[in-house]
Amino acid sequence: MSKRIPATLIAGDGIGPEIVDATLAALAALGAPFEWDPQAAGLAGIKAAGDPLPQATLDSIRKTRLALKGPLETPSGGGYRSSNVRLREEFKLYANLRPARTIVPGGRFDKIDLVVVRENLEGLYIGHEHYVQIDDDPHAVAMATGINTRAGCRHILEYAFEHAIATGRKKVTIVHKANIMKALTGIFKETAEQMYEEKYKGRIAMESVIVDACAMKLVLNPWQFDVLVTTNLFGDILSDLVAGLVGGLGMAPGANIGRDAAIFEAVHGSAPDIAGQGKANPVALMLAAAMMLDHVQRKDLGDRLRNAIDATLNVDKIRTGDLGGSASTGVFAKALVSRITNG
């Protein structure tokens, strides 16, 4: 029996508990080594402890250094900040990893296999914003400060290069806006070029592209890219664009990686409008669980899970409504478990 690995489990809000249950069933069928510590966050955290990120949840992640989470809803009003942003800051999860791979073939964009690596802690997301009042308008001027540091750039660029090389990728594309934001994103491009010369030249190809041109190229010819690495805001936008190439956010897993912790998630929202109806597609969270298995050096199990997802969707043709099928969340999970169990 393989060694048990403690991990925090956050079911999340809305469709979260449904897709988490489906994912747990798949992991149990695989014999995944995780020993779960269930904790609450989001609206469930408010209900349980008056905080969308209760101290018990933070303590659990600090102890396990590993978490799988469903989507969290940020309560409107009351001054609550995004729980996802708080988690990234709390555990210094500087790298956001968003792979996008075509699983259901036959669409406009076939055979997509891309990775977006997004810096998670800096840029305009630091939240240094304020209004300036003019006359009787308290919101006459809005101002925001973005900050990118040399150290932060080096962290994310090193992660992107090392991940690309370790996974057999051929090229890293640096995405920036240094033609206009010469300091804020210029430091990112400059650091990438320095690091490439010092450490990575000859080991992998590198190119740089301006973000707006990158968006156009991703729609016209996404196959020219392999690994994209960029700053926080650009990464947020481009990773959703790339998810759209492979069927939408229901097919998009994400990992938030730091030196001391890693949190794996579906990147879509909590979809309260379909919660409890069995309509949710659990594939994004299942793919995140496969990434989590890779992370703990169980790529064998991660590959088995990905292969079973492929077979359930394409051989058995069992799909949820967002993929043109009629299967419920539970029916899809049951079919996937059967695939895993019976090969």
Count the Cβ atoms, other than its own, within 10 Å of residue 276. Answer: 11
Q: Is a pLDDT exceeding 70 seen at residue 23? A: yes
3-class secondary structure, 225: coil
How high is the pLDDT of residue 21? 96
Domains of the chain, with CATH numbers?
1-91+260-343 (3.40.718.10), 102-248 (3.40.718.10)
3-class secondary structure, 137: strand
Rounded Cα distance between 239 and 244, Å, is 9
Compute the average pLDDT of residues 262-290.
93
Q: Is a pLDDT exceeding 70 seen at residue 51? A: yes
How high is the pLDDT of residue 77? 59
Cα–Cα distance list, 6 to 32, 211, 236, 260, 287 (Å):
11, 39, 30, 14, 19
3-class secondary structure, 272: helix
Q: What's this model's pTM, rounded to 2 decimal places?
A: 0.92
Compute the average pLDDT of residues 114-131.
91
Q: Is a pLDDT exceeding 60 seen at residue 1? A: no
Q: Name, in order, each residue with C-beta under 8 angstroms of 169's C-beta and a sequence gap of 6 or more.
A: 115, 163, 204, 226, 227
Sheet hosting strand 171-176, strand order edge to edge: 34-39, 5-10, 66-69, 262-266, 253-257, 95-101, 113-119, 227-230, 171-176, 205-210
Rounded Cα distance between 22 and 209, Å, is 39
Compute the average pLDDT of residues 116-136.
92
How high is the pLDDT of residue 47? 87
How high is the pLDDT of residue 182? 95
How high is the pLDDT of residue 131? 94
How high is the pLDDT of residue 44? 87
Strands 253-257, 95-101: pairing kind:
antiparallel
Compute the average pLDDT of residues 233-239.
96
Q: Is a pLDDT exceeding 80 seen at residue 22? A: yes
98 falls in which pLDDT band (50, 70, 90)?
Answer: very high
How high is the pLDDT of residue 284? 95
State the catalytic residues. 125, 177, 212, 236
Q: Is a pLDDT exceeding 60 seen at residue 30? A: yes
Compute the average pLDDT of residues 165-177.
97
Nearest to 251 by CA among 156, 119, 88, 112: 112
How high is the pLDDT of residue 76? 66
79 falls in which pLDDT band (50, 70, 90)?
Answer: low
Strands 227-230, 113-119: pairing kind:
parallel
Q: Is a pLDDT exceeding 80 seen at residue 80? A: no
Compute the average pLDDT of residues 171-189.
96
Rounded Cα distance between 290 and 23, Å, is 10
> What torsion do the CA atoms of 104, 106, 107, 111 make, to the nearest 10 degrees?
70
Compute the average pLDDT of residues 235-254.
92
For the ranges 71-75, 147-151, 170-174, 298-302, the lowest mean pLDDT is seen at 71-75
Compare 76 and 54 and report the one with higher pLDDT. 54
Compute the average pLDDT of residues 310-321.
94
